[in-house]
Chain A
Amino acid sequence: MNDDGARCHRYIYPIPNPGPESFEKARQHPPSNRHDLESEQLESSISPPFHSQSLKSLHLSLLLRQFDSYSQSNGKEASLFNHESRIILFRASNRAYCSRSFTTDVKHKIVEVGPRDGLQNEKQIVPTSVKVELIKMLVSSGLPVVEATSFVSPKWVPQLADAKDVMSAIQGIGRSKFPVLTPNLKGFTAAVEAGAKEVAVFAAASESFSNSNLNCSIEDSLARYRDVAIAARDRAIPVRGYVSCVVGCPIEGAVPPSKVAYVVDELVKMGCYEISLGDTIGVGTPGTVIPLLEAVLHVVPVDKLAVHFHDTYGQALSNILLSLQMGISVVDASVSGLGGCPYAKGATGNVATEDVVYMLDGLGVKTGVDVVKLVSAGDYISKQLGRCSNSKVAVALSKKMAAAAASKL
């Protein structure tokens, strides 16, 4: 067997033309238990937080059902599976390539940050009614969490000066959660008065960025957030933590993963239920994301982590794919890619939710989000802002949807 043969055969079972009998064989002979045990032991010694749910007997019927329901609910191009590729996919899922920490039982969550993180970077002040309409459309597309606004001083973020009005307008819409940013106890109090049921705090992994962005050191910001966390705990209000500059800082350059792990640890210790790791300037690539995640996974279980990649260098989706492979199941994104990068004028910032949902759908991940409704929400806000969507999926699908609508007339 030459090199080529070895490499090729690593990826498939030895029978080159799949037929029902090879499929049966594959199902009856999952990878050896001994190796699984070794892997599990190794994994638990390296990183206890990895999910230990096993992938074996991933319920082929479940797989097939999901394929079917997905393809039925999508257009022609999206319905991609016939019997043959199901076999190939099952074989693939039954051997080494699959993530042990990623199963279809885990429901992945998309946290929509467009109305806050997206809009706050837009120069043009958006009226409250437009913000509320956007939030309503996002909720109706199925997004489980929509970051509504921020209770920071209007002096710093004039776009979100109407935080109170937005909050009162969205009370009781749908079943989504609406976290709001609260930089300190004062903001927290205002948020609670306005009806907020979940808050978020925002630390930096880089000292210089913390000083320039929050006007205080990392330790000072953590002290402030401890106050917020205590007050939140008294009211049973969950707190989400953000860490910015997890890969690189516009001032300092590279940020060591150990620093990020430290800040994450502090946020978890003070009571944050989830920590979102933000690649603020978008410089992360899969090569830098792995050590970052490994460092953080030493201090916090994977189910408490979210990733918030920026698409400034076009790397967000591949970073997200990698994070999924490492077991992360919460992804932050912004509809229509709202929110540029303040550090590279004209460059993009947040990754577009439509693009993320497209990829997750392609992987069979359950997000509960309807891409078509999401694209409509993105179109709405893009029109209001008078510019094109930053989402490639939205651009590609909009043209198609318009053509389809025109042909029906």
Chain B
Amino acid sequence: MSSLEQPLGLDKLPCLSNIDAPFRFSSGACRPIPEDMGMGNCWIEGRSCSSSNSCDDDFEEYAEDPIGWRTKMRNSLSRSSSLGRSCVACGTTTNFSYLSNYNDTRGSKYRLFKDIPRYVRIVEVGPRDGLQNEKKIVPTSVKVKLILKLVSSGLSVVEATSFVSPKWVPQLADAKDVMDAVKHLKDVRLPVLTPNLKGFEAAVAAGAKEVAVFASASESFSKSNINCSIEESLVRYRAVTSAARKLSIPVRGYVSCIVGCPVEGYISPSKVAYVAKELHDMGCFEISLGDTVGVATPGTVLPMLEAVMAVVPIEKIAVHFHDTYGQSLPNILLSLQMGISTVDSSVSGLGGCPYAKGATGNVATEDVMYMLNGLGIKTNVDMDKLRAAGEYINHYLGRASGSKTAVALTRRASPLPDASIA
């Protein structure tokens, strides 16, 4: 699959740093200050950051230079000119005064992480997208408890359920009961899937305050999955969005098969951009791009994201990668490098891939969190509580976690073996 796209990389136009600075902040999301990539402490630590990572914390100031090589780099660079690459900081804060010495040392790390967001919102889709692919029917009480545990870990968006016909998705037949139990929760958004106006009305009656609609970039997949063409589905969703607008209910749009379709094969980026634009124009506040069969690699994600970013503002784009071929984390890294700041994931990797039996599906939230922590990106999510939620649902489903981070963190207490291992 391939692409010959060069991996994202070293930005070879340093003057962009001067242009970018004023545009770095946007409403609704923190954007990085040029010098502050927010990664200092994590880079020193070498481990994941503390489990609590609130956006409100102040970054620590680095008074010392525990790493000798940084001083060496700074010294060697002080001799060379800045080459016109002035480090214009927009809105510098005094906390990062140490970084002002960093002008020229940013080097590759700056170029690779120039656009990376300072805060990423994780949209937890486990209770809906995860559970709907599980064969064993999960009782309402277990679903509700899972949602409560997820909410308590700090996740600000948890996809609760789906108001589709129980004939199609028997797992979520108890949508109304689940909503009854969770609709009172504060400080959390609980979107629900609504495939049409009827589902929307049922959702509103059940107390939903946010809904989601689900289109496909592939005509064949649209027909086989939701039994109608792309255009017909968009018409349905326009009805939903105009009804939602009257009630001031936000609508999230999903686009599936953004890179490959199990039926058609390759999906062109322009098709994805078209569907994304339609969803955006009809009023969706966010468009989640879903790699339904997990075939995307960074080489195919790049052109697809470029096409979509040309027609939808970047802060309204979310990414929803599947880990079927193990590619979701590099794809997410690439999306972060391109400036995307909303990532969908499923606790413990709940939800297999219906198109490759036995293969995995959703990317595990714990693994995503581990990477985000390592990058110093704030998420407001507590890793320990998140893991506890994952353990809870795995215990009920009687299976091992789909998250490598969760497995490793749980078993890290093992002592060193005696035999040396060369």
Contacts and interface: CB of A to CB of B under 8 A. Distances in A.
A80 B3 contact: yes
B6 interface: yes
Interface stretch (B93-101, B238-246, B388-396, B411-419): B411-419
Contacts of B266: 76-77, 79-82
A359 B327 contact: yes
B166 interface: no
Contact of B39 (A4, A282, A287): A287
Contacts of B236: none
A287 B374 contact: yes
Given A42-B104, A97-B8, A97-B302, A80 B367 contact: no
A250 interface: yes
Contact of B411 (A47, A214, A294, A347): A347
A257 B69 contact: yes
B62 to A, nearest CB: 13
Interface in B197-235: none
B253 interface: no
B185 interface: no
Contact of A322 (B313, B333, B417): B333
A92 B85 contact: no
Interface stretch (B155-163, B188-196, B289-297): B289-297
Contact of B330 (A70, A104, A285, A321): A321
Chain B facing A: main interface SS: loop
A38 B85 contact: yes
B14 A39 contact: yes
Interface stretch (B51-59, B73-81, B136-144): B73-81
B48 interface: yes
Contact of A290 (B43, B47, B300, B326): B43
Contacts of B269: 84-85, 88
B4 A46 contact: no
A343 B414 CA distance: 6
A198 interface: no
A124 to B, nearest CB: 16
A332 interface: no
B420 A213 contact: yes
B319 interface: no
Contact of B9 (A35, A98, A290): A98
Nearest to A63: B4
Nearest to A324: B7
B7 A363 contact: yes
Nearest to B297: A362
Contacts of B315: 4
B289 to A, nearest CB: 15
B67 A291 contact: yes
Interface in B101-120: 104-105, 107-109, 112-113
Contacts of A10: 16, 20
B375 interface: yes
A217 B325 CA distance: 40
A88 B7 contact: no
Interface stretch (A133-141, A166-174, A233-241, A307-315): A307-315
Interface in B148-168: none
Given A8-B309, A39-B12, A256-B67, A77 B260 contact: yes
Interface string A21-47: 000000000011001101101110111
A344 interface: yes
The interface size bin for chain A is: 35 or more
Interface in A353-403: 355, 358-359, 361-364, 391-393, 395-396, 399-400
Contact of A313 (B26, B73, B268, B405): B405
A254 B420 contact: no
Interface stretch (A150-158, A188-196, A268-276): A150-158
Contact of B375 (A150, A287, A294): A287
B310 A12 contact: yes
Interface in B345-397: 353, 356-360, 364, 367, 370-371, 373-376
A101 interface: yes
Given A70-B2, A358-B325, A399 B357 contact: yes
A102 interface: yes
A341 B421 CA distance: 11
B407 A346 contact: yes
A70 B1 contact: yes
A363 B5 contact: yes
Contact of B408 (A8, A121, A344): A344
A126 interface: no
A156 B422 contact: yes
A396 B2 contact: no
B169 interface: no
A325 B10 contact: yes
Nearest to A15: B310
Given A258-B69, A359-B297, A396 B353 contact: yes
A84 B6 contact: no
Interface string A324-360: 1110000000000000011111111000100100110
A396 B411 CA distance: 27
A392 B422 CA distance: 27
B12 A36 contact: yes
A317 B7 CA distance: 13
A317 B356 contact: no
B46 A248 contact: yes
B278 interface: no
Interface string A287-301: 110110011001000
A313 B367 contact: yes
A318 B68 CA distance: 26
Nearest to B315: A4
A255 to B, nearest CB: 6
28 contacts: A7-B26, A8-B309, A8-B313, A38-B83, A41-B83, A42-B83, A45-B76, A45-B77, A77-B262, A93-B5, A102-B9, A156-B421, A213-B420, A256-B67, A283-B47, A283-B48, A288-B42, A290-B113, A347-B404, A347-B407, A362-B3, A362-B297, A362-B299, A362-B300, A363-B5, A393-B325, A396-B325, A396-B353
Interface of A: 3-4, 6-8, 10-12, 16, 31-32, 35-36, 38-39, 41-43, 45-47, 50, 55, 58, 63, 66-67, 70-71, 74, 76-82, 84-85, 88-89, 91-93, 95-104, 120-121, 150, 152, 156-157, 181, 183, 202, 212-215, 247-248, 250-251, 253-258, 261, 282-288, 290-291, 294-295, 298, 311-315, 317-318, 320-322, 324-326, 341-348, 352, 355, 358-359, 361-364, 391-393, 395-396, 399-400
Top 4 A-B residue pairs of the complex, sorted by shortest distance between their CB atoms = A285-B374, A362-B297, A99-B9, A364-B4
Given A80-B2, A326-B108, 8 more contacts: A78-B295, A81-B3, A84-B270, A254-B44, A284-B374, A341-B408, A362-B298, A392-B325
